[in-house]
Structure 1
Amino acid sequence: MAKAILHMLSTLKHMSPFDVNMALDAGYDAAIPYTNVTLDEVTALVQDAMFSRAPSAALRTGIFFAGRDAVLALDMMDTAKKALLKPFEVSLFADPYGSFTTAGAMVACVEKILREKKQRELKGSKVVIYGATGVVGYSAAVISALEGAEVTVVGYSGLERVAKLADEMCKRFNIKVAPADGSTPEQVRDLLRQHEIALCAARAGVQVLSKDDLAAAKDLLIAADVNAVPPLGVEGCGLHDNGVVVSPHGALGIGALAIGNVKYGTESGLFKKMATSDEPLCLDFRHAFALARELV
């Protein structure tokens, strides 16, 4: 049988060792990194990988899109799709900076706790996302909005940047997302008061919500955090917490490692699906969320 080969394209100086390890542990025989890749180079790279093998080996060839830009990774995958030709079609998987699998895991964990402990659905819930200009926050916003939640994305450098991002999300995915300015502690707390679910995807080592913030938010149901570096994003929410009370009003916390366990299984699972599929796959955040739902 032909070797299972994964070509890993990143826009950054280095390919993530995390992703390389995940791919090899999931069953690929070789994972080849390509760094500083630009959008206009994708077609040639994909077709070079595709035409170098017989059609019978096409499904043993995968292309992975990394980097740190969710939109660019999706653009690269769209370009790659257009470069594919029958019967040489290979499989494609985008997960820039692990954001699609992390966001999928985060929303899936929230959805489960929301149903089981609050008897509510994600659809119709008011969701605020702190750190939404980052790749995980961006992806979590799109997933939540596609599931019917009322989503507000928060920026920390004024309204202009996050408003532009929200507009791009709405146009690209045909969703409704509202931008908000969270550049002051008062604005962060005020937004928390107005929402039922808080997703914290800020930089590592940044506390987004304090105990006082949580105490002020009487309608808050769940606060989830993907930051595993102290100080944690949600004060009082432990790394392994998965539905533990974190506020006087009964809000429940979901910690970074509880989410991380699902993220790990999701990324590994998608690599395995791609490596063993009997048809070419194109995997993105939607597939990540679908698999994470199965794993929680």
Structure 2
Amino acid sequence: MKTILIQLDTDPHPSTFDRVVAIDAGAEELFSYGGVTPDNVTGLVHGAMFTRGPGDLKNTAIFIGGSQVEAGEALLKKVTKLFFGPIRVSVMMDSNGSNTTAAAAVRAAARHLDPGHTTAVILGGTGPVGHRAAQILASLGATVHVSSRSKDRAEATCAAIRKVVPEGKVSPCGLGDEALAALEGAQFVIAAGAAGVEFFDEATWSRSKALQVAIDLNAVAPAGLGGIGITDKAVSKDGTIRYGAIGVGGTKMKIHRAAVQKLFESNDAILDTAAIYEIAKTL
């Protein structure tokens, strides 16, 4: 029996990136749908649930993608509500690559420090990747400063993380001097802001004596942290290990492929932020 991955994309056109990764991960058949919303998804999910017997449903799975993470999360919530008893299929949500990229960034840092005993600053922490990186770190026991231009948005992100990780040590942080003050006592920083935004030049951020690992996830110049090259991978400079977007990208791709493969091991997996990080830990 062939494995079938059903791609539900919230954008009008299903992502070609996600389609290529699905094929490379071993999906034998790929059904791709764009413009999917909670209002029109029911028939697609029922088609996945009711065409194979319970013992064969592990060969069908759903991947939720698209550029808007909130739309993907709403779709995941609706999809899982449609399941009942053993009549269900595994589902993965990775809108905008948020979960796999965040997992890859934390795993990169974990090669050089213990994330559970770390103070981290997430610049652009209210964005899709920054939010999820902060959530993963909080779940591991790190102290996390979520930095944003809007302190209110940073607090809202911290509140959302606390709902998932009640014991999470997360706090909101502004940019500029407030973020620099947080960096003074941090061992780890991730820049996960919008394309083309430089948070600090190299001379400014590298003044922190505590920093051990700095990761910049911006693939479009300028870097969010000046001086980090897009292809940097475990580059040591001035006492800090540096990673650029492509330097983290290889690990992100491995996680993405492994997660798609995981979907076909059972019919009841729900691969969200926490579950995808657990997969990342095995690689």
Q: TM-score, normalised by structure 2?
A: 0.90
**How far apart, in 1, do the equivalents of 2:38 and 2:139 lie?**
27
Equivalent in the alignment of 1:118 = none
Q: 1:144-183 counterparts in 2 under 5 A?
A: 144-156=137-149, 158-174=150-166, 175-182=168-175
SS at match of 2:30: strand
Please state how far the C-alpha of 1:125 moved relative to its aligned partner.
Answer: 1.2
Using the aligned pairs only, state the percent identity. Answer: 33
**How far apart, in 2, do the equivalents of 1:254 and 1:130 lie?**
15
Equivalent in the alignment of 1:14 = 13
**How far apart, in 2, do the equivalents of 1:159 and 1:69 lie?**
22
Equivalent in the alignment of 1:282 = 270
Equivalent in the alignment of 1:291 = 279
- 2:60 touches 2:267 (CA, 8 Å); kept in 1? no
SS at match of 2:116: coil
Q: 1:54 to 1:202 in 2, by over 3 A?
A: same
Equivalent in the alignment of 1:244 = 235
Aligned counterpart in structure 2 of residue 270 of structure 1, from 239, 254, 259: 259
- 1:189 touches 1:216 (CA, 8 Å); kept in 2? no
**How far apart, in 1, do the equivalents of 2:207 and 2:89 lie?**
52
- 2:122 touches 2:130 (CA, 8 Å); kept in 1? yes
Match status 1:189 vs 2:180: yes
Alignment RMSD (CA, Å): 2.1
Structure 2: unaligned runs, 5 residues or longer: none
Equivalent in the alignment of 2:225 = 234
- What are the Cα deviations for residues 31-66 of structure 1, in whole angstroms up to 9, with x where unaligned? 222223223444443123211333343111111111
Partner AA of 1:145 in structure 2 = A
- 1:207 touches 1:233 (CA, 8 Å); kept in 2? yes
Equivalent in the alignment of 1:220 = 211
Equivalent in the alignment of 1:96 = 95
Please state how far the C-alpha of 1:206 moved relative to its aligned partner.
Answer: 2.5
Please state how far the C-alpha of 1:71 moved relative to its aligned partner.
Answer: 4.7
Please state how far the C-alpha of 1:212 moved relative to its aligned partner.
Answer: 1.4
**How far apart, in 1, do the equivalents of 2:131 and 2:38 lie?**
20
SS at match of 1:216: coil
Q: TM-score, normalised by structure 1?
A: 0.87
**How far apart, in 2, do the equivalents of 1:176 and 1:66 lie?**
29
- 1:70 touches 1:138 (CA, 8 Å); kept in 2? no
**How far apart, in 1, do the equivalents of 2:159 and 2:86 lie?**
38
Q: 1:171 to 1:72 in 2, by over 3 A?
A: farther
Equivalent in the alignment of 2:105 = 106
Q: Which moved more, 1:104-113 or 1:64-73?
A: 64-73
Equivalent in the alignment of 2:28 = 29
Equivalent in the alignment of 1:80 = 79
Partner AA of 1:262 in structure 2 = T
Q: 1:168 to 1:69 in 2, by over 3 A?
A: farther
- 2:195 touches 2:219 (CA, 8 Å); kept in 1? yes
**How far apart, in 2, do the equivalents of 1:291 and 1:29 lie?**
22
Partner AA of 1:261 in structure 2 = G
Partner AA of 1:211 in structure 2 = E
Please state how far the C-alpha of 1:131 moved relative to its aligned partner.
Answer: 1.1
- 1:237 touches 1:246 (CA, 8 Å); kept in 2? no
Partner AA of 2:216 in structure 1 = D
- 1:105 touches 1:293 (CA, 8 Å); kept in 2? no
Equivalent in the alignment of 1:39 = 38
Number of residue pairs matched?
282
Please state how far the C-alpha of 1:238 moved relative to its aligned partner.
Answer: 2.5
**How far apart, in 2, do the equivalents of 1:76 and 1:64 lie?**
11
Q: Which moved more, 1:91-100 or 1:57-66?
A: 57-66
Partner AA of 1:105 in structure 2 = A
Please state how far the C-alpha of 1:169 moved relative to its aligned partner.
Answer: 1.8
SS at match of 1:288: helix
**How far apart, in 1, do the equivalents of 2:248 and 2:199 lie?**
17
Equivalent in the alignment of 2:124 = 131
Q: 1:117-128 counterparts in 2 under 5 A?
A: 121-128=114-121
